[in-house]
Copies of this chain bind each other. A is one copy, B any other.
Amino acid sequence: MAVYTDVSDAELSAFVDRYDIGRLQSAKGIAEGVENSNFLLQTDRAFFILTLYEKRVNEADLPFFIGLMEHLSARGITCPQPVHDREGNTLQRLAGRPAAMVTFLSGMSVNRPGVGHCAELGKALAQFHAAGADFELRRANALSLDGWRPLIEQSRERADSVSPGLASRIADDFARLEQAWPHDLPSGVIHADLFPNNVFFLGDRLSGLIDFYFACNDALAYDLAICLNAWCFETDGSFNITKGRAMIGAYEAVRPLTPAEVEALPVLARGAGLRFLLTRLVDWLNVPPGALVKPLDPLEYDRKLGFHRHAATAADYGRA
């Protein structure tokens, strides 16, 4: 949540002139995401977001991310649309960094999603999966089962300093997931980070999806499992089955789950919970001294895993 790279207004004006989008009239560094530098640009025609990709983004992945936004936009998914410069390029360099300009999307994120928001999200997720089906680039999910092991190793010794018994709960979760993880579910492009802060609403209607920088190829139902974790729990850690039912129902109205996906849902949901517990835990244990950004609480996901550990079937998540 910061602007990491300073770019002068003169540099930004010259950069905008590479595009046929009008003259730059205003530029503001914005606090969007924690990974990259973002500027909100106003020209005499419209607003745009310019992203400068900082170190944590692998430059080799950018054609996937930018290509995906373009692919999805062309198929009617409301997401930031990469803008082509006068020579047709979407991926640029500015201030020594890879950069891309995308259209500005109106909308507000909800911090306490209601049942209606969960239904809107379920529908949009299924539409996203359908629209991504013919996207030709591929990117492996670095944060699936195999990616959790190094995170477990990095956090094992100090995990119990965050919560007594946490290291052994993580070890048990991982052992169970390693054994039960499904490997042949319908797969495709997933968003993999579709938390409420990455989804815009105008009034009660979903108006757009943003932040595709964890997108990858993986089981489609795993994306739904991530959303169940991110949207359907109450702040006290309890799972709201009405929200789960709304989300899964709206998803299946567009793309019905296969029997194998239905059966795998509790394992996928537990895996998604462990994935966010682990990345948050590693961040929590490695806050640099004097950091301005407070890391997200890993124990929120320890509590959610308390539910997943006892869920037996998809019905426990509200699947009819």
Contacts and interface: CB of A to CB of B under 8 A. Distances in A.
B28 A2 contact: no
Contacts of A28: 28, 30-32, 40
Interface string A17-35: 0000001111111111000
A111 B8 contact: yes
B9 A111 contact: yes
Identical copies in the complex? 2
Given A30-B28, A30-B29, A30-B30, A108 B9 contact: yes
Given A3-B1, A31-B2, A13 B290 contact: no
- Mostly, the A contact residues are loop
Contacts of A25: 106-108, 202
A187 B106 CA distance: 46
A32 B32 CA distance: 14
A32 B27 CA distance: 10
A25 B106 CA distance: 6
A165 interface: no
Nearest to A290: B290
A30 B203 CA distance: 23
A25 B109 CA distance: 10
Given A2-B31, A26-B104, A26-B200, 6 more contacts: A2-B2, A10-B110, A24-B108, A26-B105, A28-B28, A29-B31
6 contacts: A2-B2, A3-B31, A10-B112, A25-B107, A26-B105, A289-B289
